[in-house]
A and B are shown apart, each in its own frame.
Chain A
Amino acid sequence: MAFDPAPHFSSRDAVVCRGVGKTWAAGTKRAHEALRDVDLDIAPGEFVVFLGPSGCGKSTLLYLIAGLEEATEGLTWSFGDVVETPSPERSLIFQETSLFPWLTVWQNVSFGLAIRGASQQQRRAVAAEALQRVGLKAAMDKRPDELSGGMRQRVAVARALAMRPKVLLMDEPFAALDVQTRARMQDFLLDVWRDSGASVLFVTHHIDEAVALADRVVVFTSRPGRIKTIVPIDLPRPRNLFSREVEALRIQLTDLLRDEVDRAFAEQEALSATA
């Protein structure tokens, strides 16, 4: 693959992807190209939303940026360093709940500190602070199964924040929530984002969510996922989702997405027809 040996980016960029591609099970009969040729620059403190049809490789890209999976093509940098392994600087919040069911809420939140051997007192203090920021300080001593789905995702956010990450990777964290809860969670996320100063990479396939949150919306093609367009949104927050500008954006993004979803469906049908 053609690859520019001198990438044009500054070491201050939070995330830089150059020619990133991922083929699952590469080299086998089941090889499956999920991502192709992704070039992306994300500034510190920027809020970027990934929008794309289901199965286009959005989660895959987050995993690559987190360092949990290896790209088969291209390279990713974060603040000047090549991403090779996971790092506490880049926290990932998963699509499904991923709290440790055997730990209490505060122990979950301070898991990363426990790994570094912090004292119990210190861990509790950090957990209390992080939980305060997500409004769940009172639930410190509960267990995850005693919380609602929205609370659990907030605990997951607190756990990620407790690591003081410079990049927060969020994989459809609010997908399982109802509309009202989701709106509250979005407001809350914007508060947290402003306080923390971290860059946020947020995956969703809800256009409204993208419009409410993003500085820039990265629209992906259907699989193999490539960047179709990047739509900047220059509106002040909190945004009125019924304003004319937002309506125009909504129409633009819907059009962009519709073609890709149609293509993704056609492909999946063709695949199941041959299988």
Chain B
Amino acid sequence: MTVIDRNAAPSAAAGPSRPAAARLLAMVAGWDWLAKAWWTCLSVALFAGIWELCWALGWADPQLLPPPHIFLSNFGEQGKFFNTATRWQVGNSMGEGPSAFESVMITVAATTMRVFVGLVIACVLAIGVGVAVRYWHVFDKLVLPTVTLLSPVSPIAWLPVAIFLFGIGNAPAIFMVVVALFFHMVLATIAQIDGVSPNLINVARTMGASKRQIYGRVIVPAILPGMLQVLRMNLFGAWMVVLVAESTGVGYGMGQVIMLARNTFNPSLVFFTIAVVGVLGFGFDWLLRLAQRRILYWLPDTQEKLRGL
């Protein structure tokens, strides 16, 4: 098992075969990526296929549950509805303003921006507060009860508060995302800190690290993997809540489109928007996973092991 020869350099032993092995690895990784994309497509196709089948057999009423080929086909027409940004302005009719594609892009960008900004703010605040709770005892006593008290409150309950405080625009939507994630993320941060191996902290202590150094150099890097996981979990929560927020106070955004679809009884538009949200959420998650692998290079690949069982 172990190479114990004190003179044999472990990397030197693996040296000569490295390039070939690396090339092989890159190839396999490339295939892996392709395989993943393939399975994703297959998964979606399967779901869409069942739906289409139901439609073909007449089980799904196209007026209520239009299958993908219907709600995706008239992109130009559906896209126009995304033009809520200018449509609310007096004097603009449906025919004017940006093209369908531009409308979709503007709306998508607005909603994505709110999710992103909300996530970043919630993350920074939650990690800051979580670390502070463990760092200062008084802060713990003062803050933690309130955080725990507020964390079961549904984001819906914050909606009026968001409107009272911020009126309409980006702010209430971002506020909703932050408030929906913040409390859970504080609790998650604290749980992560409490899970740090006391041995690692003791090592730092024996080397003369101050409290600040222990937090900065041991605790924060040690909780990073867990925090990225928490972030990924909360990413979907952010996408959920942003639609709720946008469906009320905000001038434009995907939530507005859903509301419009509801009010005008347009199931095609609902499903179209759902598809867009799904693709966006998937993309975000993919980016985060990529970042996770980059930043957390030291984590063991348990997934791989589980697959081998």
User: How distant is A164 from chain B, measured CB to nearest CB, in Å?
Assistant: 12
Q: Is the CB of A115 within 8 A of B209?
A: yes
Instruction: Kindly state the separation between the CA atoms of A11 and B47 in the bound complex, as whole angstroms.
Output: 79
Q: Complex Cα distance A234/B209, Å? A: 39
Within 8 A of A (CB), among B187-210: 197, 199-200, 202-210
Q: Interface-forming stretch among B3-11, B24-32, B119-127, B254-262?
A: B3-11
Cα A68 to Cα B9 with chains together (Å): 35
**Chain A nearest Cβ from B213, distance in angstroms:** 5
Q: Chain B nearest CB: distance from A97 CB in Å?
A: 8
Q: How far is B203's CA from A159's CA once the two chains are assembled, in angstroms?
A: 10
Given contacts A101-B298, A102-B221, A138-B9, contact A181 B2 (CB under 8 A): yes
Residue of A nearest to B6 (CB): A135
A87 vs B12: C-alpha distance when bound (angstroms): 37
Bound CA span A96–B300, Å: 18
Q: Say yes or no for B36: interface residue by CB 8 A criterion.
A: no
Question: CB of A114 within 8 A of chain B?
Answer: yes
- Minimum distance in angstroms from A135 CB to a CB of chain B: 3
The contact string, 1 if C-beta is below 8 Å from chain B, for chain A 53-87, is 00000000000001110000000000000000011
Q: Of the 9-residue stretches A139-147, A222-230, A242-250, which lies at the interface with chain B?
A: A139-147
Stretch at the interface among A148-156, A198-206, A207-215, A259-267: A148-156
Interface size class of B (residues with CB under 8 A): 20 to 34
A90 to B208, CA, bound (A): 10
Cβ of A100 under 8 Å from chain B: yes
- Asked if B57 is at the interface (CB within 8 A of a chain A CB), the reply is no
CB distance from B249 to the nearest CB of A (A): 43
B221 near A180: Cβ-Cβ < 8 Å: no
> Can you show 24 pairs from A to B with CB atoms below 8 A apart?
A66-B206, A68-B206, A94-B202, A94-B203, A96-B199, A98-B199, A102-B224, A112-B208, A114-B217, A115-B209, A135-B6, A135-B7, A137-B9, A138-B11, A139-B11, A142-B10, A144-B298, A145-B300, A148-B1, A151-B3, A163-B207, A180-B4, A181-B1, A181-B4
Task: Point out residues on B near A: beta carbons under 8 Å.
Answer: 1-4, 6-7, 9-12, 197, 199-200, 202-210, 213, 217-218, 221-222, 224, 297-300
